[in-house]
Amino acid sequence: MFTGLIERTGTLIEVVQARGSAPARFWIDVGAGFDAADGDSIAVNGCCLTIVERKDSRYAFDVSSETIACTSFGRHGAQGSTVNLERALRVGDRLGGHLVSGHVDGTGRVLAMEPSSTGWLFRVHLEKPMARFVISKGSICVDGVSLTVNAVKDDASGTVVEMMIIPATLRITNLSQRKSGDYVNIELDMIAKFAARQSEYQS
């Protein structure tokens, strides 16, 4: 489990492409002082991945074809890209964001990152299957970042979600690099998904 509070960013320095049924291997430079061991879970742009090898500050993660298909890694998995990093929540840690599983539900498309008097207005379009799990003032995880939904605007093709990004969040995450047309990993609120499943089962 994670909180959606990004600890730092890393750099995707190498992608070893998959052969046959083997997973791709992502090598990420996490920088100095990021204490983790082989087998630990790390949220990389919100996607829970397992450390399979380490060389100094370079950590390797195996990424399956299923993960690539349902995340933005297939679109923004280029060498040199910046990724958000968070280590798994430990028992007794403070929960400063919201409960995040690291299981990405799909991707959203960035519509705008517009400056405002208090930060930046971040607008992301979600497809219809994800739209019903998003409510105003609820929580959403975007590229691993726990954010509060300011507004939800439904349209024929899905939903536009508006969020406010404060300067501190831009400084410590890769959201400052996002531009219109980019795709971001989305994890929907876990409680909303459980509630929807319960309602469907009862009906």
For residue 46, is it within any domain? yes
At residue 22, the pLDDT reads 76
Asked if 198 and 122 sit in the same domain, the reply is yes
For residue 93, is it within any domain? no
For residue 134, is it within any domain? yes
For residue 101, is it within any domain? no
Range of the domain at 148: 106-202
CATH of the domain at 185: 2.40.30.20
What's CA 27's distance to the chain center, in Å?
A: 18
Using the 3D structure, point to which of 87, 120, 140 is the last residue of a domain: 87
For residue 92, is it within any domain? no
For residue 148, is it within any domain? yes
Asked if 35 and 67 sit in the same domain, the reply is yes
At residue 199, the pLDDT reads 76
For residue 198, is it within any domain? yes
pLDDT tens, residue order, the chain (203 aa): 999 999 999 999 999 987 777 789 999 999 999 999 999 999 999 999 999 999 999 999 999 989 999 999 987 667 789 999 999 988 878 888 888 999 999 999 999 999 988 899 999 999 988 988 999 999 999 999 999 999 999 988 889 999 999 999 999 999 999 999 999 999 998 888 887 777 777 75
At residue 203, the pLDDT reads 59
At residue 77, the pLDDT reads 66
Residue 138 sits at φ, ψ, to 5 deg, of: -85, 180
What's the domain count of the chain? 2
Asked if 63 and 14 sit in the same domain, the reply is yes
For residue 94, is it within any domain? no
Closest CA to 5 of 139, 173, 192, 176: 173
